[in-house]
Amino acid sequence: MQPIFETSRLLLRPRTLADTDACLAMDADPAVTRFVTGPWSDPIAHRTFIEARTLGPYPRGLGYWVICRRNDAESFLGWVLLIPADGTRPEIEIGWRLRQAEWRQGIATEAAEPLLRHGFVTVKLPEVIAEIHPDNSGSQRVAEKLGLRRIGVVSLHGAPTLRYSMTLAEWSALQRLATVTGKA
Ligand SMILES: CC(C)(COP(=O)(O)OP(=O)(O)OC[C@H]1O[C@@H](n2cnc3c(N)ncnc32)[C@H](O)[C@@H]1OP(=O)(O)O)[C@@H](O)C(=O)NCCC(=O)NCCS
């Protein structure tokens, strides 16, 4: 079961097949997919990919969430994910993608925070990773603001990729720090 999350500005709800066209429209912007490997230039394969990624199946509590404005459940700002890395691997990855009109307003960071809490507290994950293109500074900054640490470079789809990680112990320490400094 994927819960619904609310933040000060956002509503996050499980992605469904009804969101496929909005995902396709977002991905039609080359800036959005610039640093991500996928079947973006083949409309049929692209739709099939989005549908398969929406349906999973994923371990309990994991999946994709559509980001909406809190006061408008019909809006589509983009999505965040918490799924097995690349859809298949044992590690669990966190990821984010927004329509370009929504960039640089803190939305990716705000949307990812409840996912991390959910991953560590409810799903009881030992670690969450992110894999990011070396030139994707926006995504790297989101990972760093969330508290993920860069732990190395891996080869993904034949290209060097930065690997970020956060363990349950690291996330818990950040929560304690936030409580002490009044930023919880
Ligand atoms: C990456 C992405 C999700 C960032 O979303 P966002 O909502 O703009 O990010 P935020 O506003 O939460 O920004 C977090 C930080 O990153 C910074 N940032 C955002 N975009 C940036 C960019 N292109 N270059 C440098 N810094 C950037 C912000 O200034 C902010 O840092 P600050 O608080 O110190 O100022 C968005 O650019 C996107 O959807 N890109 C296309 C899809 C993609 O590449 N996804 C990631 C694949 S790994």
Q: Where are the domains of the chain?
A: 5-180
Question: Over the chain, what is the mean pLDDT?
Answer: 96
Q: Write down the pLDDT at residue 90.
A: 92
Residue with CA nearest ligand 1 atom 2: 139
Rounded Cα–Cα distance for residues 176 and 172 (Å): 6
Q: Of 83, 103, 78, which is closest to residue 94 (Cα–Cα)?
A: 83
Q: Of 132, 126, 125, 117, which is closest to residue 164 (Cα–Cα)?
A: 132
Q: At 182, is the pLDDT very low, low, confident or very high (cuts 50, 70, 90)?
A: confident
Instruction: Quote the percentage of the chain above a pLDDT of 90.
Output: 90
Tens-digit pLDDT profile for residues 47-74: 999 999 999 999 999 999 999 999 999 9
Tens-digit pLDDT profile for residues 5-27: 999 999 999 999 999 999 999 99
Relative to the CA of 109, which ligand 1 atom is closest? 12
Tens-digit pLDDT profile for residues 84-102: 998 889 999 999 999 999 9
What is the DSSP code string of 114-158?
HHHHIIIIIS--SEEEEEE-TT-HHHHHHHHHHT-EEEEEEEETT
Relative to the CA of 141, which ligand 1 atom is closest? 16
Q: Is 108 in the pocket of ligand 1 (CB under 6 A)?
A: yes
Residue with CA nearest ligand 1 atom 24: 138
Q: Is 85 in the pocket of ligand 1 (CB under 6 A)?
A: no
- For ligand 1, the distance from its centroid to the CA atom of residue 102, given in whole angstroms, is 10
CA angle 14, 74, 31 (to 5 degrees): 80
Q: What CATH number does the domain located at 5-180 have? A: 3.40.630.30
Quick check: helix, strand or coil at residue 173? helix
Instruction: Please say whether the dihedral angle defined by the alpha carbons of residues 128, 81, 56 and 85, taken in this order, is positive or negative.
Output: negative
- For ligand 1, the distance from its centroid to the CA atom of residue 142, given in whole angstroms, is 6
Cis check for the bond before 57: say yes or no (omega within 30 of 0).
yes
Q: Is 137 in the pocket of ligand 1 (CB under 6 A)?
A: yes
